[in-house]
Amino acid sequence: MAILEAENVIKLYRQYDSTVTAVDRVNFKAEDGQFIAIIGSSGSGKSTLLHIMAGLDKPTSGSVRIRGNDLTKMDKDELSRFRGQFTGFIFQKHNLIPQLTALENILVPTIMCNKEEYKYEEHLKKLIKILGLGDRLHHLPSELSGGQQQRVAIARAMINRPQVLFADEPTGNLDRANADEVLSLLLETKKEIGQTAVMVTHDLTIAEKADRIYKMDNGRLLLFRDENGQYMRNSFEAETDKAKM
């Protein structure tokens, strides 16, 4: 069953006198529990698409549904509550709140969704253990390394047990060793919770670990590798394949 669906999503930006098409008629579907990677060069529109699918931004046209709920039809408050309950987002730049400690940053979604401690306590312990943050919980973000900050960001995205996890180049600012570590932690946590994950990356090595890989090119989304490990030979085949989806 498709947990996440995007249909004919278009995102246009006005830049001075011209209009830039960041996302061009994208159709996308993710099944429950799948791990999907979106690759592409800088400026291809992959982050924009991810933001739209996560309900952080509004498409110019088209619709995005999570568990059948159309995000584009929700009012802002409803959408905020929906994000808190059903989605988690890992930003490329961590986006931790500087005045809050690592633990407090992790707990921000629980506070925003008014979850009481007993509802997430066990899960928090598990996350801290998996992500190895036990001894850094009471440090401010400025006192943490890049890898540690990203781990805090992952924990924050997962604390509410979201059904869909969106990750925007979670390893983009990390060196290879740290990137591998963070990725394996992410996958381990995802497996533990059993959620759907959509990750944007420009690193093919990392994308290879996904069930399916899409490629974003000039705003168009093309299937790059399917669940069976079969690579699409050219964009025509990719388009055809996409039409079959």
Partner 1 sequence: MSDLSYRIKSSIRTAYKSIKFNFRQFIPFFCIIFFLQVGVGVILSVKNRSDAYEKNIIRDEYRVHLVLYNLNDAQLVTVRKYGYDNNNASIYRIAEEQQVLDRFDDRRTDVRISLIGDDAKEQYKLFKARYFGLILSYGDGEPLSYYETPALKEKTSGSALFSGLSLFLFLLLSFGLLTAIYTIRINNYRFEYGIYMACGADYRKLIENSVSENWVLSFFSFLPALAVWTAVSSVICGKFFFPTFGIILADILLSSTLSALSVLLPMLVVSKIYPLQHITAADNSNYVVSPRRSRDLLKAGFGVYQRLSVFRFRKYYVRIIACACAFTVAACAVYYGSYIGQEDMSRPYPSFTLSFGGSLDYDPEVSEQLRGFEGVKMTFKKQSEVGGYFNSHLAVKDADATLGSDFVGCPGLGKNAVCHDRMEYTAFDREVLDYVSQFDVDGEPEKALEGGYVVICPSRYNSKQLEIKPGDKVYIAVSFTEKEGAEVSKGELNMLSDERLLRAELEIYDYRYKEMTVAAVINDMPTGENMPVYMCDADFKEITGKEVAYRSVDVYCDGSMTKDDIETLEKKIKNWAGVFGDVSVTPTHLAADLEIEKGIRIPDVLKATGIVLACCAPVIWFFSETVFYEKRRNEAQLLSFLGAENREIKKIYVSDALVNALISFAVTAAFSSLSVAVMHAAANRIAGEAMYYRFSYPVVLITAMSLSSALISAAAVMIAYFRFIKGESGQTDRLFDETKV
> Among 14, 18, 42, 117, which residue sits at the site for partner 1 (rule: CB under 8 A)?
117
Complex with partner 1: residue 121 or 227, whichever CB lies closer: 121
- Residue 45 is a binding residue for partner 1 (CB under 8 A): no
- Residue 69 is a binding residue for partner 1 (CB under 8 A): no
The footprint of partner 1 on residues 155-184 (CB under 8 A) is 156, 160
Q: Tokens at residue 94, please?
A: 């961590």
Per-residue string for binding with partner 1, 122-161, x by CB under 8 A? -------------------xx------x------x---x-
Q: How far is the CB of 241 from partner 1 (least distance, A)?
A: 30
Residues in contact with partner 1 by CB under 8 A are: 16, 51, 56-58, 76-78, 80-81, 83-85, 89, 91, 93-100, 104, 108-109, 111-114, 116-117, 141-142, 149, 156, 160
